[in-house]
């Protein structure tokens, strides 16, 4: 295989602090589809995924269960691996940051950066809680400025720590983001530059002494390496950088694509390039950033439990249908809202009606009119050229989308051709040709063209839905030796006298109402335990009358603009369309929401609250949010279809 035909793609390494969910599936399935596509194109592919197993959070979770951190992560990693197997994820390598080779490689990387003068010892200043022996940043403190754990007072304190000098790389990183196509989508580059580089790239604190579950700094053992330095290094240690476990660094580095969601874009767009620049190593070619799969307007997370358990969904609709749905819904860079109903409708319209019908109708007609084997006489006719041109142009279009990590668009292109082929059936009306003996050659041509279209479509779809496409090949009589990337650019590959084999329905139609009822039942059965896991609700307030309640005017409003309140880490200033000409509200949710996450969202406000000034900014009302299990607040997002100004009762 030629050297330039190598391709290296990575997912983030996930925190095994809980079970994996559909959000984790998205990145992994997307990378898997690209990896499979590239293998089909003849590339020597390295597809890396894994788990990011150090840090205080893991240490605490393990402690709460009375087990060692290693025992805790071992158990979780097994669940991740089981899910990847279930979803047919064809990773080539799985890295665990607790693997010995990674640990010593990170120690070497840290030492190299220290020896080069990019890491230096300094003092970390923060808020210290003496009873908990913990440092907190300003933004982690509770609403009273106290320890988020025990809610006692904290004091200003200093801790010895190592820092990574970022400023020498600021200019190069700015150029990387603005002048190259490293970041996809590009429109996020300016926001990064404005928020992090223009104000002056701060040195990064890269060691901790407040907990021990991490990689020790070899030359100062009471420090452990900051978890992001440990985690980002995985992309090169997994190839053998600074270790002898593997030997693929020169072959696969630089990576072709790192794929991540927007929450960790900053680490991959700024810190990771800075580390590589300091190490004098080449930079990855692309960073593809996708949005979040959201559920009722919130980032999907494990606390949503079985609503989105990929095992349960996969059991009901097949892993391939789930793979298709999540990739088809998410445009690069944008969020995609998940609902069971949208998923079921998508499966019905595209997979059952679109593709499934095309296959079953075509195969059934070859059976009915020719006993399963096509005769070799042919007669070309109207519509053939257009169909053939559309089908043979598909491969190039799909290639481009895959190369640009636009998988939703790749699937759209393929399903445009599915629709074109279904339309060809209506245009050529084979059931009319079938009634007339003299039209048999024309009928054979029509059916052959359909089988060929299905072959091309299913070949190009196979990286996305690897389990179901072989079932289609069996039905259309395509020997697997004919299923190649090269053949996906050609028409006329199946033997003229091809024999089809009618089989099971590939994507059965789902009864939407019945299914939603059943899913709700499953969610109902499982939700309470999941939902309250570890959370004790505070005591109920004293009783009020309905008249008391009526004094509170709750309304639906929509966020039009949103920005951080200067000099405050906690406050956001929101401009709302409240149905009465608009108002400004200040809300203490900046720790959990970025302004761009809220714009366009509907919220519930207390509309008749007396105006106050917060940090000098006027606030006319309050945004309703609920305490969540992590000690933070989750905004209550009502249905987007509600009108602004609607009263909540």
Residue nearest to ligand ME8 (CB): 23
The reply to whether 161 sits near ligand ME8 by the rule CB under 6 A is no
CB 80, min distance to ligand ME8, A:
9
Q: State which of residues 7, 8, 9, 23 lies at the interface with ligand ME8 (CB under 6 A).
A: 23
Q: Is 94 in the site for ligand ME8 (CB under 6 A)?
A: no
Q: Is 24 in the site for ligand ME8 (CB under 6 A)?
A: yes
Q: Which of 405, 377, 450 is closest to 258 using CA atoms?
A: 405
Q: Is 323 helix (H, G, I), strand (E, B) or coil?
A: helix
Does position 229 interact with ligand ME8 (CB under 6 A)? The reply is no
Cβ-proximal residues to 504 (8 Å cutoff; 6+ apart), any chain: 471
Compute the least distance from the CB of residue 590 to ligand ME8, in Å: 20
Give the separation between CA 53 and CA 462, rounded to whole angstroms: 33
Mark 556-588 as b/e (b = at least 16 C-beta within 10 Å): bbbbeebeebeebebbbbbbbbbbeeebebbbb
Q: Output the smallest distance, CB 22 to ligand ME8, in A.
A: 7
Among residues 7, 8, 9, 13, the one that binds ligand ME8 under rule CB under 6 A: 13
Q: Quote the least distance from Cβ 97 to ligand ME8, whole Å.
A: 9
225 is a contact residue toward ligand ME8 (CB under 6 A): no
Query: By CB under 6 A, is residue 617 in contact with ligand ME8?
Result: no
As measured in angstroms, the least distance from the Cβ of 503 to ligand ME8 is: 35
Contact between 487 and ligand ME8 by CB under 6 A: the answer reads no
Q: Which one among 300, 407, 494, 605 touches ligand ME8, defined by CB under 6 A? A: 300
> Residue 200: exposed, middle, or buried by beta-carbon count in 10 A (0-12, 13-18, 19+)?
exposed
CA distance 19 to 308: 12
Query: In sequence order, what DSSP letters do the residues of 199-243 get, joined into one string?
Result: T----EE-EESS--SSPBPTTSTT-EE-HHHHHHTHHHHTTTTTS
Q: Does 184 bind ligand ME8 (CB under 6 A)?
A: no
Q: Which C-beta is closer to ligand ME8: that of 237 or that of 475?
A: 237
Least distance in angstroms from the C-beta of 235 to ligand ME8? 7
Interface with ligand ME8 includes 344 (CB under 6 A)? Answer: no
> CA–CA distance from 103 to each of 106, 162, 213, 245 (Å)?
5, 18, 12, 12
The number of helices, as runs of H, and strands, as runs of E, in the chain is 23, 25
CA distance 302 to 20: 7
Number of residues that bind ligand ME8 (CB under 6 A): 20
Smallest distance from ligand ME8 to CB 418, Å: 27
For position 297 contacting ligand ME8 by CB under 6 A, the verdict is no
- Interface with ligand ME8 (CB under 6 A), residue from 35, 147, 229, 231: 231
User: Residue 131 burial by CB count (10 A; 0-12/13-18/19+): exposed, middle or buried?
Assistant: exposed
CB of 121 to ligand ME8, least distance (A): 25
30 binds ligand ME8 (CB under 6 A): no
Q: How many CB atoms lie within 10 A of CB 202?
A: 11
Q: Side by side, which strands form the sheet with 183-184?
A: 93-96, 44-51, 6-14, 257-261, 287-290, 183-184
Stretch 261-290 residues interacting with ligand ME8 (CB under 6 A): 261, 263-264
Q: What are phi and psi of 578, to 5 degrees?
A: -105, 10
**Does 8 help bind ligand ME8 (rule: CB under 6 A)?**
no
CA distance linking residue 269 with residue 248, whole number of Å: 24
Tell me which stretch binds ligand ME8 (CB under 6 A): 230-238, 280-288, 370-378, 413-421: 230-238
Give the residues lining the site for ligand ME8 (CB under 6 A): 12-15, 23-24, 26-27, 52, 231-232, 234, 260-261, 263-264, 292-293, 299-300
């Amino acid at each position: 295989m030629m050297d330039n035909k190598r391709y290296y793609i990575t997912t983030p390494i996930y925190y095994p602090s809980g079970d994996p969910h559909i959000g984790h599936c998205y990145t992994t399935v997307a990378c898997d589809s690209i990896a499979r596509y590239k293998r089909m194109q003849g590339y020597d592919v390295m597809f890396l995924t894994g788990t990011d197993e150090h840090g205080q959070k893991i240490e605490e979770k393990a402690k709460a269960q009375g087990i060692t951190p290693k025992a805790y992560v071992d158990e979780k990693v097994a669940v991740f691996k089981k899910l990847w197997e279930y979803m047919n994820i064809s990773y080539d390598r799985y890295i665990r940051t607790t693997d010995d080779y990674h640990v010593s490689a990170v120690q070497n990387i840290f030492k190299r950066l220290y020896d080069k003068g990019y890491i230096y010892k300094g003092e970390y200043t923060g808020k210290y809680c003496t009873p908990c022996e913990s440092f907190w940043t300003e933004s982690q403190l509770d609403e009273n400025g106290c320890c988020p754990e025990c809610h006692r007072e904290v004091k200003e304190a200093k801790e010895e720590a190592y820092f990574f000098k970022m400023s020498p790389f600021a200019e190069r990183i700015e150029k990387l983001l603005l002048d190259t196509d490293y970041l996809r989508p590009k429109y996020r580059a300016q926001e990064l530059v404005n928020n992090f580089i223009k104000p002056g790239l701060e040195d990064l604190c890269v060691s901790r002494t407040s907990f021990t579950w991490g990689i020790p700094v070899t030359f100062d053992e009471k420090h452990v390496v900051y978890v992001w330095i440990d985690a980002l290094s995985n992309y090169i240690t997994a190839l053998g950088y600074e270790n002898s476990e593997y030997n693929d660094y020169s072959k696969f580095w630089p990576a072709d694509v790192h794929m991540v969601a927007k929450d960790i874009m900053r680490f991959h767009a700024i810190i990771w390039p800075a580390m590589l620049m300091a190490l004098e190593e080449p930079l990855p070619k692309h960073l593809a950033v996708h949005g979040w799969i959201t559920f009722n307007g919130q980032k999907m997370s494990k606390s949503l439990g079985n609503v989105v358990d990929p095992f349960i969904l996969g059991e009901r609709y097949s892993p391939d249908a789930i793979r298709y749905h999540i990739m088809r819904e998410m445009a690069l860079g944008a969020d995609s809202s998940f609902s069971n109903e949208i998923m079921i409708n998508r499966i019905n319209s595209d997979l059952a009606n679109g593709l499934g019908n095309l296959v079953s109708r075509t195969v059934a007609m070859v059976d009915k009119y020719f006993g399963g084997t096509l005769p070799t006489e042919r007669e070309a006719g109207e519509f053939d050229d257009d169909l053939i041109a559309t089908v043979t142009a598909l491969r190039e279009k799909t290639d481009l989308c895959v190369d640009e990590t636009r998988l939703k668009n790749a699937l759209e292109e393929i399903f445009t051709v599915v629709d074109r082929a279904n339309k060809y059936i209506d245009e050529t009306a084979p059931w009319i040709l079938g009634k007339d003996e003299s039209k048999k050659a024309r009928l054979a041509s029509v059916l052959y063209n359909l089988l060929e279209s299905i072959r091309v479509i299913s070949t190009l779809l196979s990286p996305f839905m690897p389990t179901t496409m072989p079932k289609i090949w069996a039905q259309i009589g395509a020997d697997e030796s004919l299923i190649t990337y090269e053949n996906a650019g050609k028409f006329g590959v199946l033997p003229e006298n091809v024999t089809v084999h009618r089989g099971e329905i590939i994507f059965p139609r789902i009864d939407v109402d019945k299914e939603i009822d059943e899913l709700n039942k499953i969610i109902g059965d499982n939700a309470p335990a999941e939902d309250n896991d570890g959370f004790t609700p505070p005591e109920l307030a004293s009783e009020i009358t309905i008249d008391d309640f009526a004094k509170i005017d709750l309304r639906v409003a929509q966020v039009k603009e949103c920005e951080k309140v200067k000099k405050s880490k906690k406050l956001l200033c929101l401009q709302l369309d409240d149905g009465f000409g608009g108002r400004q509200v200040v809300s203490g949710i900046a720790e959990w929401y970025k302004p761009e996450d809220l714009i366009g969202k509907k919220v519930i406000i207390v509309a008749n609250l007396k105006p106050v000034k917060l940090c000098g900014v006027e606030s006319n009302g309050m945004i309703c949010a609920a305490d969540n299990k992590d000690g933070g607040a989750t905004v209550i997002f009502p249905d987007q279809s509600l009108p602004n100004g609607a009263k909540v009762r």
